[in-house]
Amino acid sequence: MAGLERFLADEAATARLGEDLAMALRPGDVLALKGDLGAGKSTLARALIRALADDTALDVPSPTFTLVQSYDTRVPVHHFDLYRLSSASELDELGFDDALTQGAALVEWPQRAETRMPASALWIELDHQGEARRASLSGQGATFERAARSLAM
C-alpha cells in the first residue's frame, strides 16, 4: 500500500489539506478519517466541504449526534461521524452503503465500520505531534493516486 505524509503545523495547515483534497475529490470517493478525539478530523472535513461548496462561511456542524450530515455541493458529500454508532444495523438505517455510492463520503471513526469500508477508500490518519499534527495518507485505489498527485503539485 502506497503512503504519503504531510506535517500540519497549525489548524490552518489542516484546513489547507482539506482544501487540497477537495480539488481532487470525485463522486464515489470515500475518505476514512482516523485519529483520536481532537486530532483534527472534523477540522479537515469542514474545510473540505466548504471548499466543495465554494463558501468559506458554510455551517458544517460536527455530525457527532446525527451521525451523518449531507451536503449538496459540487460533488455531493456525506459527512459521517461513527463514534457513537451503537450497532451495524444502525449503519443500514443511516443508508451507509447507499451513501457510499451517491457522491463522496467522509467518515470519521471508520474503525466502527471497518468491514463496510470499500477497498478503494483513501485512509487519512491524523496524529498529534506536540501541539501540531501529522497526516498520513494511504490507500490502494484511484482515490489515493489522484489525491497523491494533487498534493504533490
Q: Is 79 in the site for ligand ADP (CB under 6 A)?
A: no
Q: Is 14 in the site for ligand ADP (CB under 6 A)?
A: yes
Provide the minimum distance between the beta carbon of 38 and ligand ADP in the complex, in angstroms, as a whole number: 5
Name the residue whose CB lies closest to Mg ion: 42
HEC sequence for the chain? CEEEEEEECCHHHHHHHHHHHHHHCCCCCEEEEECCCCCCHHHHHHHHHHHHHCCCCCCCCCCCCCCEEEECCCCCEEEEECCCCCCHHHHHHCCHHHHHHCCEEEEECHHHHHHHCCCCCEEEEEEEECCEEEEEEEECCHHHHHHHHHHHC
Residues from 105 through 124 that contact ligand ADP (CB under 6 A): 108
Provide the minimum distance between the beta carbon of 142 and ligand ADP in the complex, in angstroms, as a whole number: 26
Residue 10: which of ligand ADP, Mg ion, none does it interact with, CB under 5 to 8 A by kind?
A: ligand ADP
CB nearer to Mg ion: pick between 14 and 42: 42
Residues from 15 through 74 that contact ligand ADP (CB under 6 A): 35, 37-43
Grid cell of 150 as nine digits: 494533487
Provide the minimum distance between the beta carbon of 47 and ligand ADP in the complex, in angstroms, as a whole number: 10
The contact set with ligand ADP (CB under 6 A) reads 8, 10-11, 13-14, 35, 37-43, 108, 131-133
